[in-house]
Amino acid sequence: MLHSYSIFRLSCIILFLPLGSVYTKDFNALCSTCRQLVDNFDKGLEKTAKQNFGGGNTEWEERKLSKYELSEIRLTEILEGLCDSSSFECNHMLEENEEHFETWWFKRKTKHPDLFKWFCIETIKVCCPKGLFGPDCNTCIGGADKPCHGNGKCDGDGTRAGNGKCSCDEGYEGEFCLDCSDGYFSALRNDTFSLCKECHESCVGCTGGTNQDCKECRNGWEKDQEGACIDINECTKDPAPCKDNQYCLNTEGSFSCKECDIRCSGCKGPGASNCLTCADGFKDEESTCTDINECTEDPALCKDNQYCLNTDGSFSCKECDTRCSGCNGPGANNCLTCADGYKDDEGTCTEENKEVAAFDSEGSQTGDSPEKHEDL
């Protein structure tokens, strides 16, 4: 059964193998593929844990064919689900090493229950234990338990690739990731351990974590009489750093310019209560710039058959409703008088009634209607 499955697997690999491709040993990729194979194998074990032969007579089958749990049938079912048909790397590795899976399943599983260690590390040798790297699984700088002394990543860690050099985490530098980089200071240090902490935001270089431990002050900060770096308030400088109709907002080590409120002409802060003077269309009321209602101050601003609409800082003239002859707002219920052809009906101008032909109780037109026309 496994032989026929191998032929099927090989056909899948050939189908997806690009012409002229060469299978080179990229150990990072190989280790990743091997780890995925083992992870999928573990999932297959879990999925088939409660299954049986499925033939209807499990007791007879297990007596004659051995238990399903340890059977070749179960192994085959697990192997069939390890790789997607489109994954060349996975299928290739499985095809090359299918016999190893059979060996582990039937002969090594009890003594070597860790499939990843037995298969990926010790048998096909594409991975290393954590903290080791390279073809010979050498120990990373700082030791396998804490590569790069716990302050970085070891190149090739856990694979047969890499050179073991450390890529240090932020705040650390040096070959062993024990030195503190710019902007950090050493809070604790010995031959195998280093703890670097960030300097205060006001510092360029420091010996401790406060603004009193700075070697120099950053731009936007200056030293006070005690030698501590304190914020410079750029907003108090003369000339002012912001444009007209902007106000200055001081921040730690810097500043920003914000637009004044639309009700202001120049300002010293946010809102209408911080205006230097009020903008056109606004007036000062108890130290706050408020809108001027031009429509109430000058009722004759608009033309006949228009009404005035006040807006924030201004006004506009709108045409009256066609049913109105003069108005003080929108719609037919704000007419001063009704236009020709309309009448006032409880405060709303409506169309006047036109003469309508009268009908008797039987639906016939009465004598008041026009005479019927007869063709000659």
Six-digit token string for 303: 């033309």
First-to-last C-alpha distance (Å) of the chain = 108
Q: Which residues, including other chains, have CB under 8 Å from residue 140's CB and lie 6 or more apart? A: 131, 132, 133, 147, 148, 154, 157, 164, 166
Per-residue pLDDT tens over the stretch 110-135: 999 999 999 999 999 999 999 999 99
Q: Which residues, including other chains, have CB under 8 Å from residue 290's CB and lie 6 or more apart? A: 263, 272, 282, 283, 284
- With pLDDT > 90 as the criterion, what percentage of the chain qualifies? 76
Please confirm whether the linkage preceding 370 is cis (ω < 30° from 0).
no
Distance CA(190)–CA(197), nearest Å, equals 15
pLDDT band at 68 (very low <50, low <70, confident <90, very high): confident
pLDDT band at 59 (very low <50, low <70, confident <90, very high): low
Q: Is the dihedral of CA 10, 13, 18, 22 positive or negative?
A: negative
Per-residue pLDDT tens over the stretch 313-354: 999 999 999 999 999 999 999 999 999 999 999 999 999 885
Q: Which residues, including other chains, have CB under 8 Å from residue 128's CB and lie 6 or more apart? A: 121, 134, 137, 156, 157, 158, 159, 160
As separate numbers, helices (DSSP H) first and strands (DSSP E) second, the chain gives 8, 24
Mean pLDDT along residues 52-80: 69
pLDDT band at 23 (very low <50, low <70, confident <90, very high): very low
Mean pLDDT along residues 77-93: 92
The answer on pLDDT for 214 being more than 80 is yes
Find the radius of gyration of the CA atoms of the chain. 44
Distance CA(21)–CA(236), nearest Å, equals 70
Smallest Cα–Cα separation from 106: which of 62, 70, 82?
70
Mean pLDDT over the full length of the chain:
86
Domain boundaries, the chain: 2-123, 132-198, 203-232, 246-291, 299-351
The answer on pLDDT for 356 being more than 80 is no
More confident residue, 10 or 253: 253
Prediction pTM value? 0.65
The answer on pLDDT for 307 being more than 90 is yes
The answer on pLDDT for 58 being more than 90 is no
